[in-house]
Structure 1
Amino acid sequence: MTGRNRNTSSRRATLADVAQVANVSAITVSRVINHPDKVSGELRQRVQEAIDMLGYIPNQSASSLASARSRVIGVSIPSLSNIVFNDVLRGIYDVAGANGYKVLLVDTHYSPMEEEKMVRTLLSQSPEAMIITGGDQTRACERMLLKANIPVVQMMEILDSPLDMNVGFSHYRAGRDVALKLLETGCERLGFIGARMDTRVQQRLAGFTEALQSSGKFDPGCVITTPEPSSIALGGEMFRSLISTTGGALDAIFCCNDDLALGALFESQRMNIKIPSDLALCGFNDFETSAYVNPSLTSVHVPRYEMGVTAARMILDALDNKPALEKKVDIGYEVRMRQSTRTAQDPAK
């Protein structure tokens, strides 16, 4: 092989090369890459085969400069290791990818200051829109998002005054409803185990507390919290501590998430505390595991995938200048009663 041939074969493929191989115009190739939803499936396949054969890599920077569109949606979540966000992200990616958008994801580690820094980084990449978690941004972060003049969706909770659009549910009402359902089963003395204690967990505790106070059954000595990250091991430790502190005089415990509740369940078995006859347990988030442990765990189910889908669709509608049917969407929740809590007919201990 000559030097000239080597240079030709190693030359980076261009948009024109793809157009020639696919036997279409360069404009058509650009349309397939940037607006795949607006071309036929046959045309998408033909152009994609040419792209794959040539190893063509679109120049996103040049494309963004030419069209003033980056086709990027910035997404900010508190933790990449918290599986609560997996389903939400899957919903966002499914909608964004199907419509030719890419997702740029950052982890804020449950820190408003880190979120401010990460949002600044995301905005420097010229995203067309942003999806962020919750409503506890710093003032500086809020100003940046507002001045960016792009669609913004705050997700995971319902906010009184969102920056732009909002999809989530009321953690306060969910916490209150857990307390009411446990009281309905005949439980009288209810405890609470909470970790991390971010704003959404605090709202669950506030709703839980309000329901018990209204019925004259709240005891602050039955609440135990920590700023440490949640884990199954921590749930076991906190369960043992709460049982020791209260002398075991509890009818039920609401754990702020399923990690802690599963840890409490496993520790109760080691301590020979029978669930639910001796003590009822309830978690939050309804992980898949929770339905299959023995006894199965009562938990608060939230349609997280649907939340991600809704957030992404709200963004795409705004980018397409479609009138918003709703700028605030309550995705709802369900307290799924399982074997770890008593029914109203079960005798109290």
Structure 2
Amino acid sequence: MRTLARLTSAEADPERRHLIAGAVFSLAALTLPDTLHAGPAIPARPAVPTARHPGQPEVDELDAMADVFAAAAALHGGEHTRPALAAYLHHVALPQLHAPTAIHDQLLSATARLTLLLGLMCADSGHDATAQYYHHTAARLAAEADDHTSLALALRIMARHAHDLGHHHPAVLHLAHAATEHARQAPPAIRAFTHAQLAVLQAHNHRRDALNTLTRAEQLHTRSDAPPGPFTTYPLAALHYQRAQTLATLGDSLAAARALNASLTARFPTERHATALTHAAYAELLHRIDRLDQAVAHWSAFTTLYPTLNSTRAKRRLHTMRQQLAPYRHRPDTRALLAQTAHLV
């Protein structure tokens, strides 16, 4: 709680926010909650305890606000939504944890999920060390609440974050394994969520295990019937995306391309951020297998959505597009796309 108070307080102070943003993502910190580090040593005033005695309505509000913030990030990315969520955690969620209540563990769990969401927004903003601090803190809150489902989500997200940064260290695979273990009693959607990420990581060294785990994730997904929500459901489009990652790592680029196409087909209009990034990933894969006409079409779709996003991840995809298209400036379609998007930053 003290770590979260320091972090969320720093979000409102540009100088202190810059201080923690300058830290470096740590492979050494990819450990389970009982050995997680306490976070950055930055001064902050603790959150002021609330005078109320929180009850179930407060838990319901925290969960409802998770829906609101997740929906905003799904449409526009995490950069501009991040300060509002940090302020809500600092001024609303944290003070409730100081009050005596019979549902303290439920408040801890709901706060852990909001903290995970804030970590995802930081990762989308390119502040990877800050994201790691939030993910660790969320895992510790979930462990303190004895909430294995939220802990499984935290470990899975930590493993995904490390993988996205290019780390395939055994510690990352261990996190993904631990996520599936903590999700044993969770609903099928959560178990599918953890298994799919485990398959992505196994694909780097264990082909048979990866394919078996991916099949298990797909089987679990067919049994999913949870109510909609950022931490209750696992969208089919996301499962297809993880399938594509697994198959691409295993060297089956054509199957990976089909999976990315299926992911795009399953995306909803409310998933604008994920849709844009999926178009970009699909274009990069098509470029690798010399299908430049199709790649340009998907990069064009990506750049159409790009102006509506506030996302460093999207900016990096735009930079990759320009690098990969530069050698093909002589082609009319490539030249036109580069000219049309020259103003994008």
TM bracket, shorter-chain basis = under 0.3
Give the greater-gyration-radius structure (CA): 1
Structure with greater helix share of residues: 2
TM-score, normalization: structure 2?
A: 0.23
